[in-house]
């Protein structure tokens, strides 16, 4: 009797194990598991990671409301990567072990750098949402795609604006991360190799900082002594807010003679106004679209759904995360399978109408960062003209908009 009972228990356990295994989860008719990665706790930019997860959950719920993918329910497993490369690699391995057929997300380039290695080894299609370092797509891994622009792709356009606006004494404070170092490199190369609108040589001085430093005042005071006409703030998260606030406190920027360009996605979040207050007035920042360039129905629908569900306006990072999940789902649908190579082939062919535009991935290998990169994202610079202003209502300063 006991032996029969033991055999029965073992058999049940075996069935349960098979059902819970990756093969069981992804079996015919079972749910399709998509992975999400991003920072949900510090030292990562947790505020942006949280927003990315919200956007991904919204995307998955919409997919399921429309019947799922390949007629199967879609599930999302979001892993907190904490802004740490080792956590990112571990998260990717956990997702692969759990049977994820594709992964979307990430905010920090240094973390994405570790994640693409796992994606490549574990044959896990990975659509990077908001990590910008050139090196990510320049590695030219077959399973890695990117919606966020490569730094070189975007910041050459930002440098175009700096020259066109006639700035000639530019100082920059950049975080010592892959992203910060890349942006500094591109700006330095672009600004020191070409003159500004008036044919003047541009002087560019930059300083690297740790993201966790709370007091930037010593460096900002030193910048003030140089009388710059533009301060470029290349620090993400809380550090980016603090630089805007402290630059105003020491009388450096924004003033009549010195502008502040802050490039972190966090500058688009409502917390910017809570933390910077009046110091944030006339701050210039970047994003991927502006209503003046034509708000697509997809953007309007996404913004409305996001605001209704979470009570906050989505940023650029949220849009990219949402698009990354949707484009993965569309590729699976197009491939008709969850086989990783079939998904990669579909991603290389895809043309998906997303929130940020029609998404497709380049297969050109020169320059190296263009491989599997969406080249279609727009570089838009906006300037806040009122305290508490929403990014959609801010003044678009680049590209120049001429009313018809």
Rounded Cα distance between 123 and 107, Å, is: 21
Helices assigned H by DSSP within 251-368:
271-276, 297-310, 316-335, 340-349
Q: Which stretch binds another protein (CB under 8 A): 47-55, 91-99, 131-139, 364-372?
A: 47-55
Select 89 or 247, whichever has its Cβ closest to another protein: 247
Tokens representing 316 are: 């650029």
* Residue 267 binding another protein, by CB under 8 A: no
Query: Which residues inside 231-250 make contact with another protein, applying CB under 8 A?
Result: 237-238, 241-242, 249-250
CA distance 18 to 35: 21
- What whole-number distance in Å separates Cα of residue 364 and Cα of residue 377? 17
**CB closer to another protein out of 63 and 187:** 187
78 binds another protein (CB under 8 A): no
Which residue of 2, 225, 400, 402 would you call a contact of another protein, by CB under 8 A?
A: 225
Instruction: Select 196 or 275, whichever has its Cβ closest to another protein.
Output: 275
| Phi/psi-derived region of residue 394, left when phi > 0, alpha when psi is between -120 and 50, beta in every other case | beta
Applying CB under 8 A, does 69 fall inside the site for another protein? no
Least separation, in Å, of the C-beta of 63 and another protein?
26
Rounded to the nearest 5 percent, the helix, strand and coil shares of the chain are 50, 15, 35
Does the protein bind another protein through residue 212 (CB under 8 A)?
yes
Token readout for 353 is 């109408």
Half-sphere exposure at residue 130, Cβ-oriented, CA atoms within 13 angstroms: 35
- Give me the 99-128 binding string for another protein, x by CB under 8 A, dash otherwise: ------------------------------
Q: Work out whether 50 is an interface residue with another protein (CB under 8 A).
A: yes
Q: For the chain, what's the residue count?
A: 404
Q: Determine, following the binding rule CB under 8 A, whether residue 388 of this chain makes contact with another protein.
A: no
Q: How far apart are CA 354 and CA 364, in angstroms?
A: 22
Distances (CA, A) of 194 to 50, 164, 357: 40, 11, 31
Is residue 84 part of the contact set for another protein (CB under 8 A)? Answer: no
The verdict on 390 binding another protein (CB under 8 A) reads: no
Cβ(153)–Cβ(349) under 8 Å? Answer: no
Question: Does position 218 bind another protein by CB under 8 A?
Answer: yes
Q: How many residues bind another protein (CB under 8 A)?
A: 40
Range in contact with another protein (rule: CB under 8 A) among 134-142, 150-158, 214-222, 288-296: 214-222
Q: Which residues bind another protein (CB under 8 A)?
A: 40-43, 46-47, 49-50, 173, 176, 205-210, 212-219, 221-222, 225, 237-238, 241-242, 249-251, 266, 269, 271, 274-275, 277
């Amino acid at each position: 009797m006991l032996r029969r009972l033991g055999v029965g228990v073992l058999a049940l356990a075996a069935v349960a194990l098979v059902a819970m295994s990756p093969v069981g989860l992804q079996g015919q008719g079972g749910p399709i598991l998509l992975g999400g990665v991003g920072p949900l706790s510090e030292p990562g930019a947790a505020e942006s990671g949280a927003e990315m997860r919200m956007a991904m959950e919204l995307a998955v719920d919409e997919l399921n409301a429309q019947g799922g993918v390949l007629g199967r329910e879609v599930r999302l497993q979001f892993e907190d990567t904490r802004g740490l490369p080792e956590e990112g690699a571990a998260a990717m391995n956990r997702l692969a072990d759990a049977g994820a057929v594709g992964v979307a997300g990430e905010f920090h380039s240094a973390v994405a750098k570790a994640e693409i290695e796992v994606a490549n080894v574990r044959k896990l299609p990975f659509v990077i949402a908001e990590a910008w370092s050139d090196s990510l797509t320049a590695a030219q891994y077959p399973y890695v795609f990117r919606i966020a622009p490569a730094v070189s792709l975007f910041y050459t356009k930002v440098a175009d604006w700096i020259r066109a606006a006639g700035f000639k004494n530019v100082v920059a404070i950049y975080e010592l991360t892959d992203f910060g170092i890349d942006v500094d490199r591109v700006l330095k190369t672009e600004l020191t190799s070409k003159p500004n609108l008036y044919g003047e040589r541009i002087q560019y001085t930059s300083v690297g900082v740790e993201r966790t430093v709370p007091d930037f005042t010593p460096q900002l005071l030193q910048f003030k002594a140089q009388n710059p006409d533009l301060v470029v703030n290349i620090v993400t998260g809380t550090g980016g807010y603090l630089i805007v606030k402290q630059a105003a406190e020491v009388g450096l920027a924004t003033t009549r003679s010195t502008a502040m360009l802050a490039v972190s996605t966090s500058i688009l979040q409502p917390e910017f106004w809570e933390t910077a207050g009046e110091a944030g007035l006339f701050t210039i920042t970047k994003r991927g679209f502006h209503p003046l360039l034509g708000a697509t129905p997809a953007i309007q629908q996404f913004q409305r759904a996001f605001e209704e569900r979470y009570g906050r306006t989505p940023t650029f990072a949220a849009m990219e995360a949402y698009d990354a999940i949707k484009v993965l789902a569309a590729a699976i649908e197009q491939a008709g399978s969850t086989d990783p190579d079939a998904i990669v082939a579909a991603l290389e062919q895809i043309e998906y109408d997303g929130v940020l535009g029609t998404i497709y991935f380049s297969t050109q290998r020169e320059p190296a960062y263009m491989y599997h990169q969406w080249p279609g994202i727009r570089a838009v610079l906006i300037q806040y003209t009122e305290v508490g202003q929403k990014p959609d209502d801010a003044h678009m300063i680049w590209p120049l908009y001429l009313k018809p």
